Amino acid sequence: MVRGSQELAAAGVLAAPREARRLFALAAGSPLDLAGTAVPPSVGRRYRMLVAARARRVPFPLLEGETGFLDFDVAVRPGVFIPRPETEELAERAIVVLRSLLPHPRALDLGTGTGALAVALARARDDGQVLAVDVSPRALACARRNVRAHRLEARVEIRRSDWFSCVREAFHLIVANPPYVARCEFPSLEPEVRLYEPRRALDGGVDGLDALRVILSRAPHHLLPGGTILVEIGARQGPAALAIARRVPGLREARVERDQSGKERFLIARCV
């Protein structure tokens, strides 16, 4: 594993020794301790292939085929945005809102990607219904797989829609993790993001707020009275996002909350 660690370090991978151990465990199928024993040739070949891929900065979850989200796992696939810790915090906030609602709440997950948010919401309320939409066929296929894996088909509907374009219903709760990277920021993104995440899931336009403007402008038409919308935003977008929300007729009590690292990360508003 020493050579693998060196190769990863030379490629700029952080915590290279730890990643080399994780890649070896993935190649072996378990975190086996093979000290003093010969590494099976098939394991050695697979390990070298995994190290080479990670050195090209392929995200580890894509190599593993899944990632953890809250207290469960979701499958990930190339071309589908990989959920991040910030979105887990978005889910936690949404679950608090969902659990405060009366029986049979309805929630909408805009731009569902892997379906992680939709699965989290459905697991939180067994009497609720979740509509998860995305415009990407790859994302929809991945989301369907994850919904099936958690046996939530009866309570999570997957639908192709460009934001609200194919949504006619109204909801108690809307959640979204839209694209919010400003175009000028793309060169500074980590290679794992810049090279392997779908551009459509990242590109928020010149100022990173294009998707947010669309979502907030139409949200009041799809929120029930007193309903809540929660949107993940960029770390420096708080003031601008708040200004947009406060100009939307039908939205009130708009505020921005910080994530665990102290960055402004979540826009929350309610429908009149």
The set of catalytic residues is 81, 177-178
SS3 57: coil
- C-beta neighbour count of 152 within 10 angstroms: 18
Q: Is 215 left (phi over 0), alpha (psi -120 to 50) or beta?
A: alpha
Nearest to 134 by CA among 123, 147, 124: 147
Helices first, then strands: H and E counts in the chain: 10, 9
CA distances from 177 to 20, 70, 77 (A): 31, 16, 18
Residues 6+ apart with CB under 8 A from 198: 79, 80, 81, 136, 138
Question: Can you point out the beta strands (E) in the chain?
Answer: 66-69, 72-75, 106-110, 129-134, 156-160, 171-176, 223-232, 251-258, 264-271
Q: DSSP letter string over 106-150?
A: EEEEES-TTSHHHHHHHHH-TT-EEEEEES-HHHHHHHHHHHHHT
CA distances from 97 to 123, 175, 222, 260 (A): 14, 11, 17, 18
**CA–CA separation, 108 and 87 (whole Å):** 15
133: number of CA atoms within 13 Å, CB side?
20
